[in-house]
Structure 1
């Protein structure tokens, strides 16, 4: 492996490679440090994740890691200290987006009426999937080697969907036969199918149609426009 030496832009520490240091584009995940971070290190990690999410969304998972470090305003050595391999960075970025989906379901359920919370959460899911699509090929490879991690991730997504779907169902605002599994599968399918440059806007428009479909036949919305049959002009 070629020698790597990078100067940390934030603390001016020169990082020399250790013998046996994993190649950032190879090696198993799970080698990133798992310990409490100082405030400055936590800020660097957060900036790296923000930069990685933007880069993976716009350019895919093969974007040069040096570009990610530069966008975060830190040296490449700082990136390697937090994320020794590319898949560590991808997994952390993906996990942070699952965290955001989960937190959004909590915030919306506390701030908005049930039907609005459900609708806004569904529309926000499009942003989560836009990030995932930039990582999808590597995520599939990682899933084969670490299925337990992705089972936990799926469980968190389903719990988030249930958190916003169940109150709307209990209030009679959406149909009672919908399930969190069906909702997540439908939203994922919508996002996967939107491959045009305006894919996110297209996805949101279709999400709005699915939301109207959830409301169709709901007890509390009987007689509303979404439940009224269309009448052709005479």
Structure 2
């Protein structure tokens, strides 16, 4: 039976549960109390279990929601920031996303095993990066021809090296180096793309 659209109040509860759970999983891992998540979201535990019958289904929904939020952020940032500011802001969000994902890693390995799932996520992330790179190229701050996949791989490497909360400054410095590598010569050593 296909999912029916949620009423406005049910959609609000659903969305709040995903945000609160993402924060809890990033902070405490996936073994955090589901009762505490429900309480922090302002709903009863029954509401949580109606929407997400298992811990794994909640983790999977949080992960998918966070991927969509991250990818949507590319266009949102470009509406409010210059391309030169939007790209590094999105990259910082990517690092935060990956840190949160590490808190869900064990369960995610169990629920997102298919290569199709992984490729779909990579495709969404590459498209978001391409949007930012295209805007940066059009504005003159990004070298033409920068491959979004290369940038995604660079960001993935940064999160592997500096993916812990106490390494956040290192991650930001490494992002700066990555940005320097894709900037046009006009941006110079002190500028960002």
| Superposed pair shares fold, TM > 0.5 | yes
1:132 to 90, 97, 101: 101
CA RMSD of aligned residues (A): 2.2
Work out the CA distance in 2 between the residues paired with 1:86 and 1:151.
24
Matched, 1:113 2:82: yes
- Where does the alignment leave 5 or more consecutive residues of structure 1 unmatched? 1-30, 228-234
Q: Distance in 2 between matches of 1:172 and 1:139?
A: 39
Bigger radius of gyration = 1
Shift of 1:153: 1.9
Aligned equivalent of 2:3: 34
Greater RCO (CA < 8 Å, at least 6 residues apart): 2
- What is the rounded CA distance, in whole Å, between the counterparts of 2:122 and 2:41 in structure 1? 29
Matches within 5 A, 1:64-143: 64-143=33-112
Do 2:98 and 2:163's aligned partners in 1 also have CA atoms closer than 8 Å?
A: no
Whether the 8 Å contact between 1:171 and 1:220 is mirrored in structure 2 is no
Q: For residues 197-226 of structure 1, what are the alpha-carbon distances to aligned partners after superposition, in whole Å with 9 as ceiling and x for unaligned?
A: 4123331222122112222xx2433xx344
Instruction: Indicate conservation of the 8 Å contact 2:26/2:99, yes or no.
Output: yes
In 2, distance between residues paired with 1:72 and 1:226?
A: 43
Distance between the aligned counterparts of 1:201 and 1:34, measured in 2?
Answer: 43
1:196–1:83 Cα change, 3 Å:
closer
Question: How many residue pairs align between the two structures?
Answer: 191
| Residue ranges of structure 2 left out of the alignment (5+ in a row) | none
In structure 1, C-alpha distance between the alignment counterparts of 2:171 and 2:154, rounded to whole Å: 11
Q: Does 1:185 align with 2:157?
A: no
Other-structure match for 1:61:
30
Q: Distance in 2 between matches of 1:103 and 1:162?
A: 12
Q: State whether structure 2 residue 123 is matched by structure 1 residue 155.
A: yes
Q: Answer yes or no: is the 8 Å Cα contact 1:165–1:180 preserved in 2.
A: yes
